[in-house]
Amino acid sequence: MKFIFLLILSSSTLFAQNENCLNYQQKVFDSDTCCWRKLSKEQEFESGANLIVDFLKNGKVENKMSLNWHAGQMFAFAGKDKVALNYFGKTHSVFQKWFGGEDGKAWYFFAKGTSAFIKRDKTKLEKIISKWKAKLPEDKNYTELLRLKKNWNKNYKNATTGNSGFRQTPILWLPDVRLFARITSGTNYKYPLGSR
């Protein structure tokens, strides 16, 4: 009986904490000590992903692309690959590749390469890496794709670190959300120096 009471109490406490998270600004929601990242550190990947999805629907969203990417990561870490691919797919479009300059192309290749890994399409991942090497400067996301290729026989969670350990979220660069505004509205935003 005590066990059931504690289970109900802890579930209601978690629910209350999650409800409070939806009232935070995205900067707080995304912080290392809060919300979905806290759940991730506790290896509660699916719960973290679902919290991000709730925030996308009901929170104070400032960067939808970033949240969709992290929801995809958390679902992939939980082994929910089909759902992960859905969220990864919301983070890129061919317009980034065509009109986004180097930053947009790099993000497009990174997102497509990560999706190729999740889909287990090694040929596509290798083609993306080759295109990147030929057309763009190498960065942390390029290195992450190389890591995924090197760790092909591992699941996404373990492949992102290159060993059996686990880093909560891969170090990656997310392009400025203004890219979509520039593409869709015709506004000519310039990326600040060093933003990448």
pLDDT band with cut points at 50, 70 and 90 for residue 142: very high
Q: Contact at 8 Å (CB) between 153 and 120?
A: no
Closest by CA to 174, choosing from 17, 43, 67, is 67
Instruction: Decide which of 118 and 196 is more confident.
Output: 118
pLDDT greater than 50 at residue 13: no
Q: Let me know: does 160 contact 141? Beta carbons within 8 Å.
A: no
Residue 133 banded pLDDT, cuts 50, 70, 90: very high
Residue 36 pLDDT exceeds 50: yes
Q: What is the pLDDT of residue 184?
A: 39
Query: Other CB atoms closer than 10 Å to residue 120's CB: what's the count?
Result: 10
* Per-chain mean pLDDT for the chain: 80
Q: Which amino acid makes up residue 185? A: S
What string of H, E and C letters represents the secondary structure of the chain?
CHHHHHHHHHHHHHHHHHHHHCCCEHHHHCCCCCHHHHHHHCCCHHHHHHHHHHHHHHCECCCHHHHHHHHHHHHHHCCCHHHHHHHHHCCCCHHHHHHCHHHHHHHHHHHHHHHHHHHCCHHHHHHHHHHHHHHCCCCHHHHHHHHHHHCCCCCHHHHCCCCCCCCCCCCCCCCCCHHHHHHHHCCCCCCCCCCC
**Which has more confidence, 63 or 161?**
63
Selected residue with higher pLDDT from 164 and 12: 12
Q: What confidence score (pLDDT) does residue 18 get?
A: 60
Tell me what percent of the residues of the chain surpass a pLDDT of 90.
67
% pLDDT > 70, the chain: 72
Name the more confident of 163 and 153.
Answer: 153
* Interval 47-100: pLDDT, tens: 999 999 999 999 999 999 999 999 999 999 999 999 999 999 999 999 999 999
Q: Is the Cα dihedral 19, 23, 24, 29 positive or negative?
A: positive
In this prediction, residue 103 carries a pLDDT of 94
Q: pLDDT tier at 20 (50, 70, 90 boundaries)?
A: confident
